[in-house]
Structure 1
Amino acid sequence: MLVHEVAAGFGYDYNDATPDWVHPFIHLILILAPALLILVGTYFALRGILKLWRRRRGTKVHPEPIRGLDSSLFSSVLRYSKKQQALMIMLSLIAMPILYLTLELPKQIVNNALDSDRFPVVVLGQNVDQLVFLMLLCGLYLLAILLNGLNKYGLNVFKGYVAERFLRRFRLLVYRQWRSDPDSSDKSEIIPILAQEVEPVGGFAADMLTLPILQGGTLLTILLFMFVQDPVLGAAALTVLPIQLVLLPKLQRKVNALSRTRIKEVRLLGRQLSDHLRDQHSNSIGLLPTSARFRELEHVRRKIFRLKFFIKALNNFLTALTPFLFYSLGGYFVIEGRITLGALVAVLAAHKDFSAPLKELFRYYQTLEDTRIRYKEINGFFANSSQSSGKVQADDSALEKASQSEQSPLRKTTLSFEGPGALATQ
């Protein structure tokens, strides 16, 4: 059978002594889950290629809505922080071998320092007893933890520097664009844009490349460690991943739509409050519409909270299913002598760290979509303002040319207005 051949390829052979309850687990781990993962991965790859092809096909040259910023968020961030991004990527890659040491050393402590009778052992040409060898491994583990902590501290501090530097530049560019368009009809909306909407964009600038590389590398390092301990248990860690890849992005798209609605509601609220403050002689005008806007904003935010917490609960439940496979199937492997107890303990500890980068990657996807929406809305705000200002300037230019033609003795011109803002010369 196919399942038996795949299991034999992973180093696990069926026999008459194998319990019946192991068979469904092997089918799920080695056949069903990998097939779903390949299917989901192929679907996302094809969808990404199709989206990229459509984007390139429909690419048109547009003037920059904000001078100094590109229409793409990634291009704008790389434009001002290319060297810093390269340095953060290098620090992220350095963390991978250190992480592997923090996973491997506990297994060595359990198997070779505690559960072993081969003492004394030779270390660097010296014979050491069990206690000295234990202290030596513990010292190496402490050093690996210290190096890992220092690397994360330096990376986080530098990320904060990059985020604040890009945020300051982004705010200045937005403010300069707003100042260059004094005829904008939406002056009051610049306050929430500068105070709230640009903040997540600046914070995302530091995580744009570093976070997926760091957390993705952490995920692959932990997965490699699990496969080294036992291929079947390593494959078991990926069992619920296809379900997470299918369900969570769909739910996140609903959150993104609600986030887009919330941004528009906040802007409308700012415009209403600005109009109400200008009309100081009437305190009652605008109270009911403003109260209705408050209720609508509360309604949207409640929907966002419900969806976000449902996504979190679903992800936690799916993540908790994998340790069940480790305890049951891994425990059986320990009893049968396939793996050591230290290897099982190390796999369980590694999976505890395995779920953290996976959550960070899903959170990165959420932040990426939310930040793209904010960046697109900010650019759209100034693009609409530029179009309105350009239309007014075009109308003024047409009126000026018409008046000059009317004064010329060589040409008789009749002016007729067809609706507001439209000018026809006959």
Structure 2
Amino acid sequence: MFRLYSLIWRLTGPRQMILIVLSFLIAALAAAPLKFQQEIINMLTDGTGDLDRLLLNGAGMMSVILLSLGLKWVLGYSSGVLGEDVIRTIRKRLLQSASEHEAEPHHVSAGTLSTAISAEAEELGSFIGGAFSEPVMQIGTLISVIGFVTATQPRLGLVALAMVIPQVVIVLITQKQVNRLVGERVCTLRGATDKLTAELLEEVEEAVMADFDRIYGFRQRIFVWKLSTKFLLSTISGVATVAVIVLGGWLVLEGRSDVGTLVAAVAALGRLQGPTSVLITFFRQLSVNRVKFDLLHSLMGPARQAPPVA
């Protein structure tokens, strides 16, 4: 993983810094709408508000939302363009390396090169576009939202934190199995493609069909691991939501909290599920792309340096 990230930084460091700054700004704004929501609910329930104050809070909430959406648009476009630049660079480097070593006995076969250029390079390049900004934004959002809930009602903040930690542990455990299956699947697909391009179809049909069956089996097992993990994560989210509602409702009945805080805490849980889900997906992509990076790196040759991304 360190080798992958060091290469990403060497190729795209200056542009990644811009994306990281945008991610920090987005994360800093994550809890602001919840604060406006809390103020509006409390103002309506305790009867201390008026129309001017309601409109002012509504306008403030909408302004923060629009600003956050605008920053996300810029971040998404910038990371997408950066990813496309990296895809182009990887493809050029693969083609150049294959051309330079075409005369060698163990040169890269046409089938493997085709698979690497068409699919593997695109997946890895797309990941690199958000390699730094995505985790910064999502982790920052989690910290911002959990911090807001904890500041307003510490008990509810602990429930929110307790929802995130088990999800991270589950993903760390299950992703190892998924990585192994992905690596075997990629190697099998490369081998099947090599057979198709190197021999007459009639001679390799049975062997390639067997490879297709193996790839199918790998995908089945990957689905089992991913869907089982998703089931456990969704269960934890459901338990946390019920716990916040029950605990928060009890605190309101006891006069130790207010309705606005409870509503904001429930909304915050919804906000937490998004970043948590994205972070889990990102970690899966990171793990899978680390495997694919090692496989692509083996095609380029250990002594070569990748050219910088424009």
TM over 0.5: yes
1:369 alignment partner, one of 278, 281, 287: 287
Q: Could you list the structure 1 runs, at least 4 aligned residues long, displaced by more than 6 angstroms after superposition.
A: none
CA distance in 2, matches of 1:236, 1:195: 45
Query: Equivalent residue of 1:286, what SS?
Result: helix
Whether the 8 Å CA contact 1:186–1:271 is kept in 2: the answer is no
AA aligned to 2:25 is I
Tell me the equivalent position of 1:275: 198
CA distance in 2, matches of 1:385, 1:302: 37
Asked if residue 214 in structure 1 is aligned to residue 137 in structure 2, the reply is yes
AA aligned to 2:291 is I
Asked if residue 164 in structure 1 is aligned to residue 84 in structure 2, the reply is yes
CA deviation string 1:17-52 (max 9, x = no partner): xxxxxxxxxxxxxxxxxxxxxxxxxxxxxxxxxx99
Whether the 8 Å CA contact 2:19–2:133 is kept in 1: the answer is yes
AA aligned to 1:149 is L
CA deviation string 1:379-409 (max 9, x = no partner): 12344999xxxxxxxxxxxxxxxxxxxxxxx
CA deviation string 1:130-153 (max 9, x = no partner): 112111111111111111111111
Whether the 8 Å CA contact 1:109–1:137 is kept in 2: the answer is yes
Asked if residue 197 in structure 1 is aligned to residue 120 in structure 2, the reply is yes
User: How far has the Cα of 1:158 moved from its partner?
Assistant: 0.7
Asked if residue 310 in structure 1 is aligned to residue 228 in structure 2, the reply is yes
CA deviation string 1:103-142 (max 9, x = no partner): 1001111112x223346xxxxxxxxxx1121111111111
Tell me the equivalent position of 1:177: 97
Tell me the equivalent position of 1:251: 174
Whether the 8 Å CA contact 1:212–1:361 is kept in 2: the answer is yes
2:108 alignment partner, one of 166, 173, 186: 186
1:357 alignment partner, one of 234, 253, 275: 275
Asked if residue 135 in structure 1 is aligned to residue 55 in structure 2, the reply is yes
Query: Equivalent residue of 1:153, what SS?
Result: helix
Tell me the equivalent position of 2:12: 81
Question: Bigger relative contact order, structure 1 or 2, given CA contacts below 8 A and separation 6+?
Answer: 2
Whether the 8 Å CA contact 1:77–1:166 is kept in 2: the answer is no
Asked if residue 233 in structure 1 is aligned to residue 156 in structure 2, the reply is yes
CA deviation string 1:198-237 (max 9, x = no partner): 1111111121110111000000000001101100110111
CA distance in 2, matches of 1:384, 1:145: 47
What does 1:38-77 align with in structure 2 at a 5 Å threshold?
A: 72-77=3-8
Please identify the structure whose Cα radius of gyration is greater: 1
CA distance in 2, matches of 1:361, 1:237: 16
**Measured at CA, do residues 274 and 202 of structure 1 come closer, stay the same or move farther in structure 2, by a change above 3 Å?**
same
Higher helix share: 2
- Structure 1 residue runs of 5 or longer lacking an equivalent are 1-50, 53-71, 120-129, 387-426
**TM-score scaled by structure 2?**
0.92
**Measured at CA, do residues 381 and 80 of structure 1 come closer, stay the same or move farther in structure 2, by a change above 3 Å?**
closer
Tell me the equivalent position of 1:116: 46
User: How far has the Cα of 1:185 moved from its partner?
Assistant: 4.0
CA distance in 2, matches of 1:144, 1:245: 29
CA deviation string 1:25-81 (max 9, x = no partner): xxxxxxxxxxxxxxxxxxxxxxxxxx99xxxxxxxxxxxxxxxxxxx2212211221
- Structure 2 residue runs of 5 or longer lacking an equivalent are 305-310
CA deviation string 1:322-379 (max 9, x = no partner): 0111111111000011110011000000111111111111111111111110010111
CA deviation string 1:75-112 (max 9, x = no partner): 22112211111111111111133222111001111112
User: How far has the Cα of 1:244 moved from its partner?
Assistant: 2.4
**TM-score scaled by structure 1?**
0.68
Whether the 8 Å CA contact 2:20–2:136 is kept in 1: the answer is yes
What does 1:10-25 align with in structure 2 at a 5 Å threshold?
A: none
CA deviation string 1:129-183 (max 9, x = no partner): x112111111111111111111111110111111111111121112111111112
CA distance in 2, matches of 1:292, 1:173: 32
Query: Equivalent residue of 1:339, what SS?
Result: coil
Query: Equivalent residue of 2:162, what SS?
Result: coil
Q: Percent identity?
A: 24
User: How far has the Cα of 1:240 moved from its partner?
Assistant: 3.9
Give the length in aligned residue pairs. 301
Q: CA RMSD in A?
A: 1.9
